Amino acid sequence: MPQQERHGLTALSLFSGGGGLDLAFDRAGFEHVASFDILEICGATLRRSRPGWQVFSGPGGDVGKVDFSRFSDDVDVIHGGPPCQPFSIAGKRNGGRDKRDMWPAFVSAVLRIKPAAFVAENVPGLLDPKFNQYVDEVILKPLEANYRVVKFSLLASDFGVPQVRKRVILVGFESRKSAQRFDIPKPTHRTRDDLFSLPIPTMGARAALGLPDIGFDCFSPTLRSGFTGPRKSTSILNSKASQLIWDRLRIWPNGVQKTREMAVAFPPENGHFRLSIQDCAILQGFPEDWHFEGAAYQILGQIGNSVCPPVGYVVAKSVSRALNGCSGR
């Protein structure tokens, strides 16, 4: 993610988490306005990695209770990933009945601030037929009164991330011209035969972690968030099927350690490679100079809940190109 020159566009982050989209928009040349997250530990991560940023966390970061009118003249793009648990196949999938559903708060913030564009991210389950009515009535109907909305899915591995991870992106533009200029990001890395013309392949998990060649490598399974499942779990294992992949990779997905030194000091009995949180951050596409705060399970929660930064980066660049000269600010 080469740092792009500042182009004068500003971005405000909602549900910032570990900062995947925040970092992506920063690297894409946007000026940071503010970040909001209800978890104090997420605020600590953002402040550590970007000490100069305005960050609101804890009660002050509760997106559902913030008066966003004070930002109405300062923000070109709002971006964020409302909590995905209400729509994830890993949960009960209660959608709008889940108290963690924050889509109404995201929509309200967009309508209050009225940015030139917005970017929202969520799990593929959001677009399952069972949620069609919810998406149409709660998300699209209120936003499409003022915005031209594009929905699409992106694979993290198509953008250099060594992980099987698919996400749904919603992008909306206030201006028709900006919407017409927006291009859904195309893959930047070779991952399959139909992308053979791309010169750079996405590395497998072992190669990305610098592990020795064992005659087999592939993308890692989707990393499970440490904020879900058993309390304070330090496992990134998200299913029994993914265990088979980790076994073939000879990587131990349980008991992730806070440092690489600790991971080396406590090797699994089967001799597989034990992951550290730094290794998980690499598998998610974070650069090594992005620093996370908290206990191991809290850091895994921030990593696993984050947008893969390289994915957010290509979206942010495409949005900036579409808005170039059309932001009106």
Dist CA 28 CA 4 (whole Å) = 5
- CA–CA separation, 281 and 292 (whole Å): 9
What is residue 135's three-state secondary structure? helix
* Signed CA dihedral, 189, 237, 86, 134: sign only: positive
Query: Of the candidates 319, 310, 318, 292, which has an alpha carbon nearest to the alpha carbon of residue 24?
Result: 310
Q: Is 84 a catalytic residue?
A: yes
Q: Dihedrals φ, ψ of 158, to 5°?
A: -70, -10
Kindly report the backbone phi and psi dihedral angles of residue 151, in degrees, each rounded to the nearest multiple of 5, phi listed first.
Answer: -115, 135
Helix pair angle (296-305, 277-284), 10° resolution: 0
- 17 touches 61 (CB < 8 A): no
CB 200 within 8 A of CB 190: yes
Identify the residue whose tokens are 């909001």: 36
Gap between the Cα atoms of 267 and 179, Å rounded: 52
Per the CB < 8 A criterion, the answer to whether 62 and 37 are in contact is no
Tokens 């895994």 belong to residue: 300
Residue 148 bridge partners (DSSP): 173
Query: Residue 173 belongs to what H/E stretch?
Result: strand 166-173
275 touches 251 (CB < 8 A): yes
What backbone phi and psi angles, to 5 degrees, belong to 57?
-140, 170
Q: 84, 218, 280, 308: which is the annotated catalytic residue?
A: 84
Q: List the catalytic residues.
A: 84
